[in-house]
Structure 1
Amino acid sequence: MEAILYISALIVALAFAILVIYLIKTLKSATKTLENTSATVEALEKQLRGITTESELLLKKTNVLADDLQQKSESLNTVFGAAKELGESMKTLNQSVHQVSTKISDQTSRNAETVSQAVQWGQAVLDFYTKFKQRKQQLDR
């Protein structure tokens, strides 16, 4: 009976040894997997640092560009203000020209009869002068 006890102890020891061997293999495999995972995480950290640095540079450039755009926009506001004032001046000038042309038209309409009479009198004086000159020439011959 003692032999059975030794055999069963030997079987238990062998089973335990096999269990430990498989446990060691599993742990080694888990260790390799964790090392690969650690290397991957380190590579990702390096890439993220690079991306973060580039993102910060891009953000700084974007801020500079936005400031420049803001300054140029403010400069354009003064140009548009000047253009508005110029437009208002032109409008005032057009109104003044319109008023002057309206006054001239009104004055011309009112004085049309007088001008017509002045032209007729002028024509009559010219005719009289021409006839006077012709008679004088005939008398001188």
Structure 2
Amino acid sequence: MEFILYASIALIAVAFTVLVVYLAKTLKSLRITLDQVAGTLAGLEKQVEGITKETTDLLHKTNQLAEDIQKKSEKVNSVVDAVKEIGTSIQQFNRSMKKVSASVTGQLEKNEEKVAQAIQWTNAVMELIDKVKQRKRSKKQTD
């Protein structure tokens, strides 16, 4: 029985040695894998830093662009308001001109007869003046 006990201890020692060897190989393989993962993570960290910097720059440029667009929009709004006021002024001027035109037309229609008489009197006076001038000429020629 003693032999079985020594054989069992020897077998346990061999099994423990095999277990330690395989465990050492596994841990070595795990260390290599973890080193690769660490390298990959370091590369990713650098890439993330670069992306973060670019994103920050892009955000600043976007904010500047938004401010510029806001300023230009305010300027365009003031121009649009000015054009609107000019349009309103032109409409008011047109209304006034229509009123004046209607008033003048109405006055002309009221005084149409008087105007016609004034024109007739003017024509008659002009004819008289022409006749007086002709008589003066004919008297000068006869003298």
- Normalising by the smaller structure, the TM-score range is 0.7 to 0.9
Give the TM-score of the pair, scaled to structure 1: 0.81
**Higher mean displacement: 85-94 or 10-19:** 85-94
Question: Match of 1:33, as an amino acid?
Answer: T
The CA distance in 2 between the partners of 1:133 and 1:60, in whole Å, is: 94
The CA distance in 2 between the partners of 1:134 and 1:57, in whole Å, is: 100
Any stretches of 5+ residues in structure 1 without a counterpart? none
SS for the counterpart of 1:83 is helix
**Which residue of structure 1 lines up, in the alignment, with residue 72 of structure 2?**
72
**Which residue of structure 1 lines up, in the alignment, with residue 41 of structure 2?**
41
**Higher mean displacement: 106-115 or 121-130:** 121-130
Give the TM-score of the pair, scaled to structure 2: 0.80
**Which residue of structure 2 lines up, in the alignment, with residue 62 of structure 1?**
62
Structure 1 position 14, deviation (Å): 0.9
- What is the alpha-carbon root mean square deviation over aligned residues? 2.4
Question: Match of 1:3, as an amino acid?
Answer: F
**Which residue of structure 2 lines up, in the alignment, with residue 20 of structure 1?**
20
Q: C-alpha deviations, 1:43-100, integer Å up to 9, x for none?
A: 1111110000001101111111111111112222221222122122212211221111
Matched, 1:117 2:117: yes
The CA distance in 2 between the partners of 1:73 and 1:127, in whole Å, is: 72
**Which residue of structure 1 lines up, in the alignment, with residue 52 of structure 2?**
52
**Higher mean displacement: 59-68 or 86-95:** 86-95
Structure 1 position 107, deviation (Å): 1.0
Matched, 1:31 2:31: yes
**Which residue of structure 1 lines up, in the alignment, with residue 7 of structure 2?**
7
The CA distance in 2 between the partners of 1:4 and 1:129, in whole Å, is: 169
The CA distance in 2 between the partners of 1:133 and 1:68, in whole Å, is: 82
The CA distance in 2 between the partners of 1:12 and 1:29, in whole Å, is: 25
Residues paired across the two proteins, number: 141
Q: C-alpha deviations, 1:8-42, integer Å up to 9, x for none?
A: 22111111111111111221222122112111111
Any stretches of 5+ residues in structure 2 without a counterpart? none
The CA distance in 1 between the partners of 2:125 and 2:134, in whole Å, is: 14
Question: Match of 1:108, as an amino acid?
Answer: L
Question: Match of 1:43, as an amino acid?
Answer: G
Q: How does 1:93-112 map to 2 (within 5 A)?
A: 93-112=93-112
Identical positions, percent:
48
**Which residue of structure 2 lines up, in the alignment, with residue 83 of structure 1?**
83
The CA distance in 1 between the partners of 2:42 and 2:7, in whole Å, is: 52
Question: Match of 1:77, as an amino acid?
Answer: N
SS for the counterpart of 2:27 is helix
